Structure formats: C-alpha cells, structure tokens
Amino acid sequence: MIEFKNVYKDYGQNHALKGISFSVKQGEILGFLGPNGAGKSTALNILTGYLSATAGEAFVDGVSIFENPMEAKKQIGFLPEMPPLYPEMRVGEYLNFVYDLKNCKISRKQHINDICEVVKLSHVKNRLIKNLSKGYKQRVGIAQALIGNPKVLVFDEPTVGLDPKQIIEIRNLVKMLGKEHTIILSTHILPEVQQVCSRVVVINEGLIVADESIETLTEALEGTRRYIAKICGAEQDVLKLLRSLPVLRSADVIGAQDANSVSYLIESDENIDARVPLFNALAAKGYAIIGLEGVDMSLEDVFVRLVSNKEKREGGKRR
C-alpha cells in the first residue's frame, strides 16, 4: 500500500533522511518509532506531499507521490504533529471545508455525521475550535484526516501533549481505525507502538535502524530488569562484589558520585528478583544501599538491542 524507496532529504548541509526504504502492507498499523529529530516528521511530510525528497521514490497504492501528487494525495488522510485547524471556525464548518477541499463525492451530511460519530465529536459540532480542549482539537484533526475515506491514514505523534485519559482514548481510536485503514503512526513513545501497532520501523539520525514485527520489539524490551543502585563503599570493591553475584547479569558504574556513594546500573534476568540477594550480599560486607530504583529502557537502548538481535539472527543464518 505504501512504498518508500531509498528516500533522501537534505536541508542545506543537514541530511535529514539518508536513504530510507520501507513498505506498509494493506491493513497494517505501522509504528514509526524514533527519538525527536530522527527524521520521522520529514519522512511523513514527504509521504503526504507536503515536502519533496532530494532523491528517491514514494508510492501510495502504486501511485507516485512525486509524479502524480493529486492522485496520491486522495488516498491519504494526514494528521500532522500540530493539527491543521482554523481556530475561528466551528467544528462542523471546518469539516465541511475539508470535505470541499478534498472534493469528496460521498454524501456530505451522512459522511461528516459518521466521522463525528466515530471520533466522538457529534456533541461539539457547533463549537468554535479555539474553545475546545487539546484532546478535542486532536479529535478534530483526526476527523479531517478521515474525510474522503482515504485508504491510508498518517498520524504524526497524535498523543503528544495530551493527558493520560486522552492518550488512551486516542490510542483506542487509532486501533479501531486500523480495522478499515492502513495506518502509519509516528511516535517516540515505546509502549504506544507496543499497544497499537502490528509492525515497527525504527528510525534514528535519518536512517532506518530496524524494521521488525511487534513481537520482536517486545522480545527486545523484555528479558531484562534494570536498576540504578546507589551504594556506599569503595567503588572497585563494590563493583567486584556486584559482578560476582550470580543473580546479576551485569553491573557498571554510571557515576553521579558524591563523597560516600557511587551509582551503578545493574541488570538481572527478568524472572529473577535480584533485590533481596543484592541487599544481603552488600549488607554482609558492610556496604549500605542508600537508593535503588527500577529503570525503563530508553529508545537508544532499544535501538541497540534490536540491531544487535538482528545481527545475531543474521549471523546465525549465515552460519
């Protein structure tokens, strides 16, 4: 349904995309994952025809976005990072404008009512957009993307700036829309991808570093418990002790030292709770734990994990 072939985008000397390729099958919800500034929005802006690429090709349902943009744009509903709204308009009025703009042929009243029903906007149709909460503005943004019933929906960070309740609602909405549309969901939030998407493309510094099923991503995230422990005592002795403990997989100094304590990043297998053996071992030697907190994996950790898993798999195949 969507094909990106070796797409480059340069902003002067800055190489935002360095030759990315990926494809999305019909009915898939693809998570487009990457930290801020990775090139996600640039890629999506190229796909939706807002920007042109320096080199490469992009197709939507077999239609080239560069050669036949009018036809390709008809297939896409796009919610940019900042919903493209006109605050002075009423919700219904705005949706009617988008309907005209997209030159839709479906029955106007029925179509707009159906969309308002799906995104739960019916009761605010007569309100001015500027008076709506951020969550509702986001819904209006999604509603405009749905107008014309496009085959592909592209959502660029749709949950940014929303409160937890709104985030859950928007995620559920995206999941529901995924039953009838092919969706690209760009985000820098890992759990969002896990909850909503069926596949993930990870982008970092303008390059695709992983293109995996959601199971592979989950696998990469699971399997390890990580803690940051603040321990009093001589650094080398404590480190030696930690590394000798069979319950721990690894231990490293991460700094944040003060006069009496050092912080360590320690990892154990997921099915082992290392906290009690850790406490006992340190207490036996007279080293005091003055802080212990669990830490989640960062996006960068996931990239490293996904890439190294992939290399292992490919290495295995070659052997």
Distance in angstroms (rounded) separating the CA atoms of residues 284 and 301: 33
Q: Spell out, one character per residue from 197 to 226, where the chain touches other proteins: x when CB under 8 A holds, - when not.
A: ------------------------------
Closest approach, Cβ 131 to other proteins, in A, equals 14
Q: Are 226 and 266 in contact (CB under 8 A)?
A: yes
Shortest distance (Å) from residue 42 CB to other proteins: 12
Residue 70 binds other proteins, judged by CB under 8 A? yes
Tokens describing residue 232:
């009093």
Is 41 within 8 Å of 224 (Cβ atoms)? no
- Minimum distance from residue 78 beta carbon to other proteins (Å): 5
Of 55, 101, 106, 168, which one interacts with other proteins (CB under 8 A)? Answer: 101
Neighbours of 223 (CB within 10 A): 13
Bridge partners of 251, per DSSP, are: 266
Q: E-assigned strands of 96-159? A: 152-156
- Binding test (CB under 8 A) with other proteins, winner from 98, 112, 190, 278: 98
CA angle (290, 296, 298) in 5-degree steps? 120
Q: Is the dihedral of CA 175, 145, 191, 15 positive or negative?
A: positive
84 scored as a contact of other proteins (CB under 8 A): yes
Quote the CA–CA distance of 60 and 74 in Å, as a whole number.
10
Minimum Å gap between C-beta 73 and other proteins is: 4
Stretch touching other proteins by CB under 8 A, among 32-40, 96-104, 113-121, 300-308: 96-104
Residue type (1 letter), 254: I
Minimum distance, C-beta of residue 224 to other proteins, in the bound complex (Å): 40
Shortest distance in whole angstroms from residue 41 CB to other proteins: 10
Interface with other proteins includes 73 (CB under 8 A)?
yes
The nearer residue to other proteins, 56 or 69, going by C-beta atoms, is: 69
Stretch that binds other proteins, among 15-23, 41-49, 201-209, 275-283 (CB under 8 A): 41-49
Q: Which is nearer to other proteins, 14 or 271 (CB)?
A: 14
Classify the C-alpha dihedral 276-279-284-285 as positive or negative.
positive
* 29-66 CB burial, b ≥16 within 10 A, e <16: bbbbbbeeebbbbbbbbbbbbebebeebebbbbebebe
CB of 143 to other proteins, least distance (A): 12
**Dihedral angle of Cα 148, 131, 134, 119, to the nearest 10 degrees:** -40
Task: Say whether residue 78 binds other proteins (CB under 8 A).
Answer: yes
Closest CB to other proteins among residues 99, 303:
99
Q: What residues make contact with other proteins under the rule CB under 8 A?
A: 11, 45, 48-52, 69-71, 73-74, 76, 78, 80, 82, 84-89, 97-98, 100-103, 144
